[in-house]
Amino acid sequence: MQKIFECIPNFSEGRDPSIVLECVSAVKNTEGITLLNYTSDVDHNRSVITFMGDAEAIENAAIDLCRKTTALIDLRKHCGEHPRVGALDVLPIVPLKDATLEEAIELSKRIAKRLSDECGVPTYLYEDSASAPHRKNLADVRRGGFEALPEKTKDRDWLPDFGENYHKSAGVTVVGARFFLIAYNFDLKTNDLSIAKAIAKKIRQSSGGLECVKALGVMLESENKAQVTVNLTDYRKTPLYVLTEEVRRLAHEYGTEVESAELIGLIPMRALTESAAYYLGIRDFESKTRVIEEFL
Amino acid sequence: MQKIFECIPNFSEGRDPSIVLECVSAVKNTEGITLLNYTSDVDHNRSVITFMGDAEAIENAAIDLCRKTTALIDLRKHCGEHPRVGALDVLPIVPLKDATLEEAIELSKRIAKRLSDECGVPTYLYEDSASAPHRKNLADVRRGGFEALPEKTKDRDWLPDFGENYHKSAGVTVVGARFFLIAYNFDLKTNDLSIAKAIAKKIRQSSGGLECVKALGVMLESENKAQVTVNLTDYRKTPLYVLTEEVRRLAHEYGTEVESAELIGLIPMRALTESAAYYLGIRDFESKTRVIEEFL
C-alpha cells in the first residue's frame, strides 16, 4: 500500500513569473510527484504550490524546492502584504491516502532536519509537529516576520527546532503536519455584513460553535454580497453537511438564505461521499466499503 | 499496466447463509481476486457478490462460482420476488482501471463459452456483448424467468449463445459487459405495493421516464414495506440526485414518502461527489479537478 501525502508549500515570490516557474518546476520535475495546482498573488508577493506523492517523493521535492527558493529569493529585498519568515516560508504536510497523521508528523520532521542540514535553512516545527504548545500556531511562530529573526532566534523560547539562527537571505522555514483543511465559503442572499458576522460567530468553535470550524463574516464588495468564509480543519469532526445545514438554518433565522457555496482548492472524496449519503438518505453507508475508488 | 475488471454476479440464493458463504468463498479463494462486497436479500432470495481482478482471475472466479451455484442451488425449488433464469443468474463484467469496454466484451464471451463447456450451463450474452439487438436488455432475456426456459430456449430468436436448452436445475446464465450499474432501492413508508409499482412505471425509461433507469415495484414481505428497486445503468445520463428527487416527488404525490435508500454493492465516487455538490449547493463543481482522489 503506497502512502500518499499532500504538501502545500508557500514561498515568498509572487511577482516574478520566471522565479515562480523555476520553483514550480523544481517540484514538478521530482520523480513521483503529482502537481495539483499553483497560484501566485501579486499583492502578497507570494505563491502556493499544491502537490502530492509518497513520503520519499515529498521529501525530495521539498529539498529541491528549498534549494531553488534559497538561491533565487532574497528576503532582505522582499516586500509584500503577507507575513513571512522565509523564502520557503511554510511547508505543511497532510496525510492523504492510507497515510496517518503520525506518519505525516514523522515526514515533516525528516524534512525539517534536511532543510537545515542540506540547504542551510533553520526550521521550526508547527501544528501537529510542534515541539511545544506555544509553537503550534503559525501566526505565533511567524510573529515579527523575517525582520524579527535576529532577535527571535536567540530567544530561549524560540530557538529553531533544527539549525541555529537564520539564513541571511532565506530566513527560516516553518514545517509541520496537519489534517486536510477544507476552505469553503457561503455566499448569502443579502448585503448585510452584520448577518454574515453573526452567523460566523455562531458557528466558529472559538465562540462555542461547531468543532473544527473557523469562520469570518466578510463583504464581497464587487458582488455587493455578504459571505461567511470558513476553514473546516477536520471534516470528520464536523461533516460538511452538518456545517451547511447549520449555516442554512442560521441564515433562515436571520431572514435570509445561503445563495451558493464555494469550494476553494481541493477536497477529500470522503467529505463529499458522506454528505451525498446523508442527503440521498442511503442507510448504513460507509465510504470505505462502498466506493469503488477506495479499492483501486 | 494491469487491466482491472469488476464482476458482479447475481445468484439465486439469499436465505441459506451456508450456501451463500460457500459461493462467496469460491470467489474469494480464487487467486488474484479482491472481494469487494456481498449482500443477500431474504425477500428477493438472491445474493450479489462484487469483486475485481485482472481478466484471468475474473475468468477463473466465474467458473468456480458457477460450479458452486450449479451444485448447490435448485431453481425448481426456488422462490423469491426477483425475476431470475439461473442459479448463477447474471454475470456482468465492467471495465474498471485501464481496461476498455471492448476488452470486457471479449472477457465476457470467453467466460460465457466456458460456463457452457465446463459447467454445462447454457449462456446468453447481453448488454454490450449481445449477439443481436433484441438480446441486449436483461429484462427481455430474462422474461418469463426460469419457468419459461423450456419454451424460450427452443425459440429461434432465443437460442442460447453458448450451449443448448437449459440446465435442468441451474437454468441458464446471462453474461455480458456493460458500464458501471448502480443497484439502488427506495424503501417507501407504505405497504401499498401499487404505489411502488406506479412510481417504478413513471421513472423507468421503457415507459417514458428517466434515461438509463430500470425500475420495479416490489414488496418487502419481511418488513411489510413497498420498495422501488432500481438499476441505474449510466449515472452520467441520469444523476443519482435527479433519480432520488423524482422518486421523492412521486412518493409525495401518492401520499407517502421515501423512508430510506439502499445501495447494493458498490458505487463510483463521481456518482456521489456530484450528488453531494448538488445538495450542498457548491457552484462550478467538477469532481475531476476538485476531488483529491481523482489525482491518486
Q: Does B96 touch chain A (CB under 8 A)?
A: yes
Asked if residue A147 and residue A56 are part of one domain, the reply reads: yes
* Contact (CB<8Å) A36/B295: yes
Q: What is the average pLDDT across B152-162?
A: 96
**Percentage of residues in chain A with pLDDT exceeding 70?**
99
Count of Cβ atoms closer than 10 Å to residue B109 Cβ: 20
pLDDT for res B79: 84
Beta carbons of B175 and B242 less than 8 angstroms apart: no
CATH number, residue A107: 3.30.990.10
| Cα separation, A238 vs B123, whole angstroms | 51
Q: Does A36 touch chain B (CB under 8 A)?
A: yes
- Residue A21, pLDDT above cutoff 70: yes
Over the stretch A119-138, which tens digit does the pLDDT of each residue have? Answer: 999 999 999 999 999 999 89
Cell 434515461, residue? B211
Produce one character per residue of A200-217: b if its CB has 16 or more CB atoms within 10 Å, e if not: bbbbbeeeebbebbbbeb
Domain boundary among A126, A150, A177: A177
Domain boundary among A177, A196, A223: A177
Shortest CA gap A86–chain B (Å): 28
Asked if residue B190 and residue B133 are part of one domain, the reply reads: no
**Closest CB from A36, A258, A280 relative to B240:** A280
Cell 528576503, residue? A75
* Contact (CB<8Å) A52/B292: yes
Question: Residue A80 — pLDDT band, cuts 50, 70, 90?
Answer: confident
User: Which entry of B82, B134, B167, B252 is annotated as an active-site residue?
Assistant: B82
Asked if residue B190 and residue B172 are part of one domain, the reply reads: no
Asked if residue A278 and residue A216 are part of one domain, the reply reads: yes
Over the stretch B31-54, which tens digit does the pLDDT of each residue have? Answer: 999 998 899 999 889 999 999 999
User: Terminal CA-to-CA distance of chain A, rounded, Å?
Assistant: 11
- Residue A1, pLDDT above cutoff 80: no
Q: What number of C-beta contacts closer than 8 Å exist between A and B? A: 119
| Cα separation, B26 vs B47, whole angstroms | 14
* Contact (CB<8Å) A279/B240: no
- Residue A265, pLDDT above cutoff 90: no
User: Which entry of A44, A78, A82, A134 is annotated as an active-site residue?
Assistant: A82
Q: What is the average pLDDT across B179-189?
A: 95
| Cα separation, B266 vs B183, whole angstroms | 8
Q: What is the average pLDDT across B92-109?
A: 94
Shortest CA gap A264–chain B (Å): 9
Asked if residue B198 and residue B271 are part of one domain, the reply reads: yes
CATH number, residue B197: 3.30.70.670
Asked if residue B168 and residue B53 are part of one domain, the reply reads: yes
- Residue ranges making up the domain that contains B208: 182-295
Over the stretch B126-142, which tens digit does the pLDDT of each residue have? Answer: 999 999 999 999 999 99
Of A1-5, B39-43, B157-161, B289-293, the range with the highest mean pLDDT is B157-161
pLDDT for res B227: 97
B82 flagged as catalytic? yes
* Contact (CB<8Å) B273/A276: yes
Asked if residue B111 and residue B47 are part of one domain, the reply reads: yes
Asked if residue A186 and residue A173 are part of one domain, the reply reads: no
pLDDT for res B69: 98
The count of domains in chain A is 2
Asked if residue A115 and residue A91 are part of one domain, the reply reads: yes
Asked if residue B271 and residue B235 are part of one domain, the reply reads: yes
- Residue B296, pLDDT above cutoff 80: no
- Taking contacts as CB-CB distances below 8 angstroms, the residues of chain A near B282 are 260-263
In angstroms and rounded to an integer, the radius of gyration of the C-alpha atoms of chain A is 20
Asked if residue B117 and residue B67 are part of one domain, the reply reads: yes
Q: Does B219 touch chain A (CB under 8 A)?
A: no
Candidates A5, A282, A294, partner chain B, best to mutate (most B CBs within 10 A): A282
Domain boundary among B118, B148, B177: B177
Interface predicted TM-score (ipTM) over 0.85: no
Asked if residue A12 and residue A132 are part of one domain, the reply reads: yes
